Chain A
Amino acid sequence: MSRGRKTAAPTSYRTGLRGEVFARWFLRAKGYRVLARRFRCPAGEIDLIVRRGRTIAFVEVKARPEREQAAYAVTARQRRRIARAAAVWCAQNPPGPNGVLRFDVVLLARRSLPLHMRAAFEADLSPGGW
């Protein structure tokens, strides 16, 4: 079976994309409105930015065959990149004085429901963190 140029992209990349689409629909079903997806800036990137009421959540989506692997895949370095990108996004779209900001993670695994971890981590604002 021959492959075209588009399908030559790495498999993990496609798995990730599929996972993000899945997570997006999952969050929508939970009542979140998607503000941005695949937000990128020089400081880092965020898979999904969603909102429900006053809460704005920066969501990292991880898809792995097993859920534990997905949980471990959110590394400290990645959390820092997400936090930095979130700061950039907030500068561009001020959340207002009452906005509650949160960092969430959605874990996807084979043969199981997606797991939405609210307030999964915090921005590392220690002097070395930025």
Chain B
Amino acid sequence: MVAHVRTVAFHGVEAVEVDVQVQVAPGLPAFTIVGLPDKAVAESRERVRAALGAIGLALPPKRITVNLAPADLPKEGSHFDVPIALGLLGAIGVISSEFLDRFVVVGELSLDGSINAVIGSLPAAICANALGRGLICPRQAGPEAVWAGEDVEVLAPGSLIQLINHYKGTQMLSRPEPELEAAGPDLPDLCDIKGQETAKRALEVTAAGGHNLLLNGPPGAGKSMLARRLPSILPVLDPSEMLEVSMISSIAGELRNGRISRRRPFRDPHHSASPAAIIGGGTRAKPGEVTLAHLGVLFLDELPEFSPQVLEALRQPMESGSAVVARANHHVTYPARFQLVAAMNPCRCGHAGEPGHTCRRGERCASDYQARLSGPLLDRIDLRITVPQVAVGDLSLPAPREGSAQVAARVAAARRAQAERFAQIGRPDLRVNAQADGALLEAIAKPDDPGCKLLNDAARAMKLSARGYHRVLRVARTVADLRQGGQVRRIDIAEALSYRGASMSQRLAA
């Protein structure tokens, strides 16, 4: 007799259905798992044997074959233990196949028969929903799995014996409660920053339009401080975005206690990160930092200190909004629509361009350091601003009145205006101005006549390239949205031009 149990294998952030077939046949006693299992899956037979022993069942002295179909898809991870154990229980007649047919099963077994947490319960629940089945997952993963929908039946037993009792009807399992991470007040607030009004305004524009931002300034000017306050002015995730972000966190095993958060992710990898850590990859495909920052902020402090490979590898995800990991064994696409916020010093000693400072290595100090950033990368950064040293007088001022809450309200209003506009022109897939390009951008961001004139004059005087021209338009559109102003006006163009950065960026990327 062959018992069937459904489970999933993960391919990118998607869950693919896997059929676990268990056959108990006469013959020399043996326990074999076939169907491209990796080490963790092949070892599951020892855990299954011990767990069944712990609940008082011995494996029958027969030839037990477990097949994981489709047989050509590599199976990784430890979540195959429970499906294999349930398949065995089905094959020896402890659990009926009608019960097993109703569920998709994931979970790892301990030797004592308890079920341990596994990653990816949320995508598994979504896959189960698509198949019209319920989900059996570990108790810790239950709160996360119920986010897949009201109509998905979720069983979250803490041990194998609890599940069998539920099946027999002696101890019913209740549906886990969905849990939201408490929206704690622990985000750093914008009102901690004294002075730096220009930078704060740029941060607001960045948040409103989903643009990328480069902060260039001497050490101690507050670049990192500014960047860390970006999440506090970004709007919270809407339900569909929340699901996307949670699926990624679920795959990466980053959800704490199965709670999902409405906050946008903020990732700040150290500059020693490898390309695989940033983009994703490894012998088993794992999502990288760009994917973990999906719909949130990727903050790269000390941008020129990152290895050139990492910086160049960022170009493609920034352009396409997805990270493609292609290896011999797998070809996976991860979503990666993130906002890049980078901070850097103008030169190695950190103070180039400040009045009264001369680098010991002269002009070369700044030019060599800034040459580490390639033109194509800088080209993709819409706002590039210089953050000067804070004036001593500003530090003694009282804290500014305006905090993150007020700015966040303006940003949310601007984002609503953008979403409405995109919906009107029939592109509901776009969310923010940063995603608009080419003809679409020219249609939505057409300036009034004085604005056109200013833009054309500036393009000639500053030798703007076509891409640079579009960048100014895009930022101007966001500035106008923040003003709730409708058409792009001359003043918006002027502000957008001011975010084009100092001479250094013009030299590298016109």
Contacts and interface: CB of A to CB of B under 8 A. Distances in A.
B29 A101 contact: yes
A64 interface: no
A123 B30 contact: yes
Interface string A55-97: 0000000000000000000000000000100110010000001
Interface string B37-52: 0000010000000000
A117 B30 CA distance: 17
A32 B104 CA distance: 45
A122 B46 CA distance: 12
B26 A97 contact: yes
B48 to A, nearest CB: 13
B469 interface: no
A98 B26 contact: yes
Given A119-B58, A119-B61, A100 B28 contact: no
A101 B28 contact: yes
Nearest to B49: A122
B484 interface: no
B26 A122 contact: no
B460 to A, nearest CB: 72
B32 A100 contact: no
Contacts of A99: 26
Nearest to A124: B30
Q: Binding site of B, secondary structure by majority: helix, strand, loop or mixed?
A: loop
Contact of B29 (A98, A122, A126): A122
Nearest to B58: A119
Interface string A95-130: 001111111000000000000000100111110000
Contacts of B31: 122
Contacts of B398: none
Contact of A123 (B26, B29, B58): B29
A123 B26 CA distance: 13
A103 B62 CA distance: 11
B393 interface: no
B26 A87 contact: no
A99 B42 CA distance: 28
Interface residues on B, range: 10 to 19
Contact of B61 (A86, A97, A102): A102
A100 B61 contact: yes
A87 B27 CA distance: 9
Contacts of A100: 26, 61-62
A119 B26 contact: no
Contact of B28 (A86, A98, A126): A86
A119 B28 CA distance: 11
A76 to B, nearest CB: 14
Interface string B5-49: 000000000000000000000111111100000000010000000
B56 to A, nearest CB: 15
Contact of B27 (A101, A124, A126): A101
Contacts of B58: 119
Contacts of B28: 83, 86-87, 90, 101, 103, 122-123, 125
Contacts of B61: 100-103, 119, 122
B37 to A, nearest CB: 10
Contacts of B32: 125-126
B44 to A, nearest CB: 13
Nearest to B42: A126
Contacts of A123: 28-30
Interface in B62-89: 62-63
A126 B26 CA distance: 17
B169 to A, nearest CB: 32
Nearest to B29: A122
A90 B30 CA distance: 15
Interface of A: 83, 86-87, 90, 97-103, 119, 122-126
Interface of B: 26-32, 42, 58, 61-63
6 contacts: A83-B28, A83-B30, A98-B26, A101-B61, A119-B61, A125-B63
Given A101-B29, A103-B28, A125-B32, 8 more contacts: A97-B26, A99-B26, A100-B61, A101-B26, A103-B29, A122-B61, A124-B30, A125-B30
A-B CB proximity, top 5 nearest: A125-B30, A123-B28, A123-B30, A102-B61, A122-B29
